[in-house]
């Protein structure tokens, strides 16, 4: 018989193995965040801002706030980023394993508890679940804790215990059931299961005293008190409530049920976010012991310890298997501890059924089965699944790898992020790449500059050493051709843990100094003709309001154009302080300086609020000539303005205002 000391020692070893499987490469596997995880992270940040609700409206679909509150509390201590958001799941998973051991040992003996823990410790489905960010990862712990509270509160062995349960066990049961409503709709089923088992024990009248009955009512009162806000919110918003989502089942129930069983033992969950497609949740040998455990539980159906497990299976299994996306491993998460207990019961039944001289062989077989599942999980999790293209796409692997690089491996340099999402737009259910990068990063102190490198380039701190990060896969190839000489002066960082051509290091101090000197002599600038003062062209730099200075331009445009042609204009700007956050540049094509522009473009290819003093940025503006434009000579005028106030920045000559625009050249249009 497996003694307590030996079972504790084996369980500790199993917990250490489980910890390695869950902590190893936690920041990089999965490589980023999937869409559902981003939703949960956004709920967490909403909670952190103080906007706490019972349900959050996700486009007509409700989500309970309990997980977001718990994640906000833990990330306050651990910090954000992929590791910070995932650490709660790992600790919850480890606690689940410990409680499964305690529950299995209490109900069916030490061997059953150890075997159940071993199955979950090395199970790939549970490992992925405890590496993710989702409310479902709380369900195995919730179900296990409720069953353990029931087992400790009520005499599951049918005889009066030496010492009756104290009020703490019943209080824990009431608190668990009450808090469960704020975690997941499965709490309705678990509460119904608990009430059914309590009613069974009362009707059975086995070792049930008046004190136990009164403490049971005490647990129910705690449940009602905690769940009352949930009930009120459900009445106010029934569409968002968990009860409406609980019945979201597949239209073809029988087909979904069969698919769910197939997912357990044959082909698994095809969704690459949850599983390696084609891999079942359990191997066939473990499945055989699970079936034996189920048969054993059915044979001892008159015993309370078996009734508890059978009732849990009866209530939880149908909803876990008949979901719309069946087989769906997250939907099976509440069933995992029950499957582990059945496996442990099957192992215990077979072990104590064989002759004593064969039991050591049985024990060795159990160790071999655990080691087989361990190597199977290690191979598939850290090998095949980690390299799976569909999984990497679903988790935005490119952004996640760049976030990890910036957190841990990047040199301490100013960083320019090249992305088309310069002007951040937050939609109810989707984030752009720049916000995803910010969510995945742990270093919140790193000030990132953002530029659309198809049109602009930022030279941090006057061209000192910096690194450019390309969020888009084709970012390096689609870099603006008029700015490519700056990029090619840098060094591409080649590493196995980041995408190819995604990071470039360079120092442009000398190149910028030479270019600025050339601009002072080859790029004359004229003030607006309506401005007071000397109309003689001047040399840059020219100061503008809003802590902006014009450093000059390169004449990359041609002398002659035809209607419909595209005119490129390259300008240089320097930041002298905090810029207006709504800064925009304008480029006008003017036939008459006093008339409306014949063509114009007002680009914003940088994040102005992220710029620092001494930063220099290059802007390439493209102006398309209208097909109706008349032949003639046209002037090119540039300047800047604040978009919200629609106010142009003043141009200064020393301390004297000289209008709100500058003239940098001319073109000829021929029809």
Give the domain CATH number at 534.
2.60.40.770
Helix (H) or strand (E) run with residue 581 in it? none
pLDDT value for 253: 82
pLDDT value for 207: 63
Alpha-carbon separation of residue 524 from 342, 381, 553, 555 (angstroms): 84, 63, 9, 11
Residue 190 lies in a domain: yes
pLDDT at 409 over 90: no
| Mean pLDDT value across residues 139-160 | 86
Numbers of helices and strands, H then E, in the chain: 22, 21
Residue 85 lies in a domain: no
Domains held by the chain: number: 3
pLDDT value for 160: 46
Same-domain check for residues 519 and 542: yes
Residue 408 lies in a domain: yes
Map 601-643 to HEC letters: ECCCCECHHHCCCCCEEEEEEEEECCCCCCCEEEEEEEEEEEC
pLDDT value for 161: 47
Helix (H) or strand (E) run with residue 534 in it? none
266-301: per-residue pLDDT in tens? Answer: 999 999 999 999 999 999 999 999 999 999 999 999
- Of 595, 589, 600, 591, whose CA–CA distance to 632 is shortest? 591
Map 151-193 to HEC letters: HHHCCCCCCCCCCCCCHHHHHHHHHHHHHHCCCCCHHHHHHHH
Q: Report how far residue 289's alpha carbon sits from residue 292's, in angstroms, rounded to the nearest whole number.
A: 5
pLDDT value for 165: 65
**Percent of residues, the chain, with pLDDT higher than 90:** 75
Residue 347 three-state SS: helix
Q: Report how far residue 671's alpha carbon sits from residue 668's, in angstroms, rounded to the nearest whole number.
A: 10
Same-domain check for residues 310 and 247: yes
Same-domain check for residues 241 and 383: yes
Higher-confidence residue of 167 and 166: namely 167
Instruction: Place 159 in a pLDDT band, splitting at 50, 70 and 90.
Output: very low
300-319: per-residue pLDDT in tens? Answer: 998 999 999 999 999 999 98
Same-domain check for residues 354 and 444: no
Same-domain check for residues 495 and 527: no
Q: Report how far residue 582's alpha carbon sits from residue 486's, in angstroms, rounded to the nearest whole number.
A: 27
Map 382-403 to HEC letters: HHHHHHCHHHHHHCCHHHHHHH
Residue 128 lies in a domain: yes
Same-domain check for residues 493 and 523: no
Residue 369 three-state SS: helix
| Mean pLDDT value across residues 449-477 | 94
**Percent of residues, the chain, with pLDDT higher than 70:** 97
pLDDT value for 403: 94
Burial grade of 4 (CB within 10 A; 0-12, 13-18, 19 or more):
exposed
pTM of the model: 0.90
**What mean pLDDT value characterizes the chain?**
91
353-393: per-residue pLDDT in tens? Answer: 999 999 999 999 999 999 999 999 999 999 999 999 999 99
pLDDT at 131 over 90: yes
Q: Is the peptide bond before 30 cis (omega within 30 degrees of 0)?
A: yes
Same-domain check for residues 543 and 497: no
Residue 433 three-state SS: helix
Residue 453 lies in a domain: yes
Q: What is the DSSP string of 119-158?
A: HHHT-HHHHHHTTS-SGGGGHHHHHHHHHHHHHHHTTTTS
Burial grade of 157 (CB within 10 A; 0-12, 13-18, 19 or more):
middle
Higher-confidence residue of 412 and 349: namely 349
Same-domain check for residues 97 and 14: yes
Residue 452 lies in a domain: yes
**Dihedral sign (CA 625, 627, 629, 630):** positive
Measured in Å, how far apart are the chain's first and last C-alpha atoms?
99
Instruction: Place 212 in a pLDDT band, splitting at 50, 70 and 90.
Output: confident
Instruction: Place 80 in a pLDDT band, splitting at 50, 70 and 90.
Output: confident
pLDDT at 158 over 70: no
Residue 344 lies in a domain: yes
213-231: per-residue pLDDT in tens? Answer: 888 899 999 999 999 999 9
pLDDT at 668 over 70: yes
Q: Report how far residue 444's alpha carbon sits from residue 430's, in angstroms, rounded to the nearest whole number.
A: 21
| Mean pLDDT value across residues 72-84 | 92
Same-domain check for residues 330 and 417: no
pLDDT value for 373: 97
pLDDT value for 187: 95
Same-domain check for residues 206 and 289: yes
pLDDT at 426 over 60: no
Q: Which residues pair with 641 in a beta bridge?
A: 584, 648
Residue 226 three-state SS: helix
Range of weakest confidence among 130-144, 308-322, 389-403, 507-521:
507-521
pLDDT at 147 over 70: yes
Q: Which of 507, 539, 564 lies at the terminal end of a domain, its last residue?
A: 507
Same-domain check for residues 378 and 416: no
Range of weakest confidence among 7-11, 206-210, 405-409:
206-210
Same-domain check for residues 382 and 404: no
Q: Which of 369, 388, 407 lies at the terminal end of a domain, its last residue?
A: 388
Q: Which of 388, 409, 425 lies at the terminal end of a domain, its last residue?
A: 388
Instruction: Place 550 in a pLDDT band, splitting at 50, 70 and 90.
Output: very high
pLDDT at 430 over 80: no
Residue 317 lies in a domain: yes
Domain that holds residue 201: 4-29+91-388
């Amino acid at each position: 018989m497996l003694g307590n000391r030996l079972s504790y020692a084996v369980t500790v070893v199993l917990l250490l193995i489980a910890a390695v499987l869950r902590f190893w490469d936690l920041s990089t596997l999965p490589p980023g965040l999937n869409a559902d995880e981003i939703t949960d992270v956004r709920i967490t940040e909403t909670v952190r801002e103080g906007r706490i609700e019972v349900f959050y409206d996700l486009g007509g679909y409700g989500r309970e706030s309990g997980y977001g509150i718990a994640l906000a509390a833990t990330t306050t201590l651990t910090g954000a980023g992929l590791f910070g958001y995932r650490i709660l799941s790992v600790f919850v998973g480890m606690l689940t394993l410990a409680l499964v051991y305690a529950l299995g040992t209490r109900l069916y003996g030490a061997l059953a508890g150890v075997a159940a823990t071993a199955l979950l410790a090395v199970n790939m489905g549970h490992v992925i679940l405890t590496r993710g960010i989702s409310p479902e990862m709380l369900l195995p712990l919730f179900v296990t804790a409720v069953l353990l509270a029931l087992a400790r509160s009520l005499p599951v062995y049918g005889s009066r215990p030496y010492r009756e349960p104290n009020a703490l066990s019943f209080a824990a049961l009431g608190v668990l059931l009450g808090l469960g409503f704020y975690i997941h709709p499965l709490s309705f089923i678990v509460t119904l299961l608990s009430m059914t088992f309590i009613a069974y024990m009362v009707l059975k009248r086995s070792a049930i005293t008046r004190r136990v009955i009164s403490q049971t009512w005490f647990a129910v009162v705690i449940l009602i008190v905690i769940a009352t806000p949930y009930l009120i919110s459900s009445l106010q918003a029934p569409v968002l409530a968990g009860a409406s989502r609980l019945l979201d089942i597949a239209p073809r129930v029988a087909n979904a049920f069969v698919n769910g069983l197939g997912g357990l033992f044959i082909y698994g969950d095809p969704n690459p976010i949850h599983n390696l497609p084609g891999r079942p949740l359990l191997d066939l040998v473990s499945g055989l012991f699970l079936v034996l455990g189920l048969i054993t539980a059915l044979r001892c159906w008159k015993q309370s310890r078996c009734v508890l497990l059978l009732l849990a299976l009866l209530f939880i299994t149908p909803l876990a298997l008949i979901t719309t996306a069946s087989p769906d491993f997250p939907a099976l998460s509440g069933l995992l501890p029950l499957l582990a207990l059945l496996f442990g019961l099957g192992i215990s039944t077979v072990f104590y059924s064989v002759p004593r001289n064969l039991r050591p062989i049985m024990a060795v077989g159990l160790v071999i089965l655990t080691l087989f599942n361990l190597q199977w999980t290690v191979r598939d999790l850290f090998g095949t699944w980690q390299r799976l293209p569909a999984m990497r796409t679903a988790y935005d692997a490119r952004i996640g790898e760049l976030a990890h690089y910036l957190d841990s491996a990047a040199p301490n340099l100013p960083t320019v992020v090249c992305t088309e999402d310069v002007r951040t737009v937050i939609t109810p259910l989707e984030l752009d790449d720049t916000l995803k990068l910010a969510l995945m990063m742990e270093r919140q102190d790193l000030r990132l500059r953002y530029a659309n490198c198809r049109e602009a380039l930022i030279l941090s701190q006057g061209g000192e050493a910096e690194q450019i990060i390309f969020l888009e896969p084709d970012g390096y190839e689609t870099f603006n051709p008029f700015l490519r000489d700056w990029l090619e002066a840098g060094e591409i960082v080649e590493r196995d843990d980041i995408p190819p051509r995604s990071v470039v290091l360079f120092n442009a101090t000398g190149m910028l100094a030479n270019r600025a000197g050339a601009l002072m002599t080859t790029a004359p600038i004229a003030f607006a003709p309506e401005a007071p003062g000397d109309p003689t062209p001047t040399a840059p730099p020219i100061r503008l309001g809003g802590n902006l200075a014009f450093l000059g331009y390169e004449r990359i445009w041609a002398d002659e154009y035809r209607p419909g042609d595209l005119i490129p204009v390259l300008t240089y700007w320097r930041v002298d302080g905090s810029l207006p956050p709504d800064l925009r540049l304008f480029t006008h094509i003017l036939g008459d300086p006093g008339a409306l522009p014949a063509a114009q473009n007002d680009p914003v290819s940088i994040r102005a609020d992220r710029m620092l003093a001494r930063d220099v940025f290059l802007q390439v503006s493209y102006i398309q000539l209208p097909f109706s434009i008349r032949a003639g000579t046209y002037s090119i005028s540039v300047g800047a303005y604040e978009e919200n106030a629609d106010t142009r920045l003043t141009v200064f000559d020393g301390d004297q205002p000289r209008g709100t625009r500058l003239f940098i050249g001319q073109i000829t249009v021929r029809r």
